[in-house]
Structure 1
Amino acid sequence: MKIKYFEYIAVYLSVFLVCVFVGAIGRLVLLEKGADEYTAGVFFWICTGFGILMFAILSLFLNDLAERLLNRFLKTKKNESPESRIPGEDLEKIQEQPQDALIKPEMLENKNSARNIQQIREERQNAARNQKQARIDTAIRYAQQEFALYVSDDDLKQLGRNIIIYAEDINFEKIKPLKVKDLSNLDLYHFGWNIWNCFKVSRQDRAAQFLKLTFADALKDVEQNSIKTHLKDDEQKGLIKIMEDFTDF
């Protein structure tokens, strides 16, 4: 904006100086012809003002005329039909083509729409798969931390495989039991509830069955229904506590 103002100032200042120069020349001519100072001064200011006035009028008129011509030119271009821009021979070739050879916009739009829907579906499926895998990784890290001191290395790996079977809703016949020491039934109940809370892929009956099969030796004297009813007993007691949030894992 400042640059534009400077351009206006430069233009009008140049016009003013030219008008002053012309007026000064006219004043000198009048003085040489014998006119008095007052008459020459009046002529000078009249000549300068008339020049500035004529420039202003011409500027307004020419700007308005140029704008009208530009609008008329653009309107003419806009009103031209697409067919008028195609050479006659090319237009005849297009008209002679069979309809099946022409690309129909609605067909192209339908294909793009179907492709977009399929892409969205795949993205959603991948997101759900990644989210599930992240939960499995979290549950395995949690189990390893809780049971590192109470099971052997092989059983710790088997516990991770059992968790995957539970999370993926695979047949529990593939679950293998493991031996645990120094943990009470309450600790195992809390662990089962935490695994259920991490995934929430089934009812707690399945979590109880998961515990019964994974810790078959430790829970051999406890019924599955009894395990289910005691999953969240005494939440902050025992070595394994109830976990409401797994963000730290």
Structure 2
Amino acid sequence: MKIKYFEYITVYLSVFLVCVFVGVIGRLVLLEKGADEYTAGVFFWISTGFGVLMFAILSLFLNDLAERLVNRFLKAEKKQSLESRITSEDLVKIEEERQDALIKPEMPENKNSALDIEKIREERQNTARNQKQERIDTAIRYALQEFALYVSDDDLEQLGRNIMIYAEGINFENIKPVKVKDLSNLDLYHFGWNIWNCFKASRQDRAAQFLKLTFTDALKDVEQKSIKTHLKDDEQKGLIKIMEDLTDF
């Protein structure tokens, strides 16, 4: 037997016993009032049957209504309890958060992203500038060491300025000539290739032009195209030799 059926039997049996009890009480009352046994018996069965019948009718027609009323009451009570809990515990906090949002609005995500991109771009630009400046400093130190014995102090300073002009891509009209002694054209070619290799920011034509303008007297009889073609001749000959890396200077 299923549990649901057992519950129905229990309920109806309980109702039947209650009705019988009421009928017995009514029968005893009638007997005390002077009614005969037949009348009292009829009342007993009528009251018992009527009670069972009324319970069945109420169960049939009013069960759904009662269930809806109970559910509605429970929902209303739950909602009221929730509203009460929110009001008592969280209302102040919610109001404070709303005021904070009005006073300190959050920055839009896309604006944050734009700021991050700009910051990254600025950092990369600073890194590139620092690296370039390090190469310029290295090239100047290299030039000072190589030419210290072969040019005057003023010409050493001018050579450093010429290297900066070359590295920064400034117009060569600002380059001034430097006089050298005891160095061959091969030495100057090697020096030009080493400077070009340090920066590699342009074609070797520009390096050849840089040499032609810087060492005007020494290379006055050499064409710029010829300088370009001989930059790396006899790499390990001469006082100034070809160097693949200047980072040690």
Distance 1:113 1:170 in 2: 36
Q: How far is the alpha carbon of 1:86 from its aligned partner? A: 3.1
Distance 1:234 1:117, change over 3 A: same
Q: Match for 1:155: what amino acid?
A: D
How many corresponding residue pairs?
A: 164
Deviation at 1:142, TM superposition (A): 0.2
Distance in structure 2 (CA, Å) of the matches to 1:219 and 1:203: 20
Partner Cα separation in structure 2 for residue 137 and residue 193 of structure 1: 17
State the alpha-carbon separation in 1 of the partners of residues 128 and 194 from structure 2: 21
* Deviation string, structure 1 residues 180-236 (Cα, Å, up to 9, x no partner): 000000000000000000000100000000000000010000000000000000000
CA shift at 1:92, angstroms?
11
Question: What is the TM-score normalised by the length of structure 1?
Answer: 0.61
Q: Give the distance between the partners of 2:236 and 2:242, measured in 1 at CA.
A: 7
Shift of 1:93: 10
Do residues 172 (structure 1) and 164 (structure 2) align? Answer: no
CA separation of 1:189 and 1:89: change in aligned 2, threshold 3 A: closer
Change (3 A) 1:183 1:102: same
| Distance in 1 separating the partners of 2:93 and 2:188 | 85
CA distance in 2, matches of 1:186, 1:141: 21
What TM-score comes out, normalization by structure 2 length?
Answer: 0.61
2:197 is the alignment partner of 1:197 = yes
Q: Secondary structure at the match of 2:108?
A: helix
Deviations 1:22-48 (CA, angstroms, capped at 9, x unpaired):
xxxxxxxxxxxxxxxxxxxxxxxxxxx
Q: 1:92 to 1:179 in 2, by over 3 A?
A: closer
**Distance in 2 between residues matched to 1:154 and 1:207, nearest whole Å:** 22
Q: How does 1:1-249 map to 2 (within 5 A)?
A: 84=86, 86-87=90-91, 91=95, 94=98, 101=102, 107-249=107-249
Q: Pairwise CA RMSD of aligned residues?
A: 2.6
**Offset, 1:108:** 2.5
Identical positions, percent: 79
Ranges in structure 2 where 5+ consecutive residues have no aligned partner: 1-81
CA change 1:179–1:92 in 2 (3 A) is closer
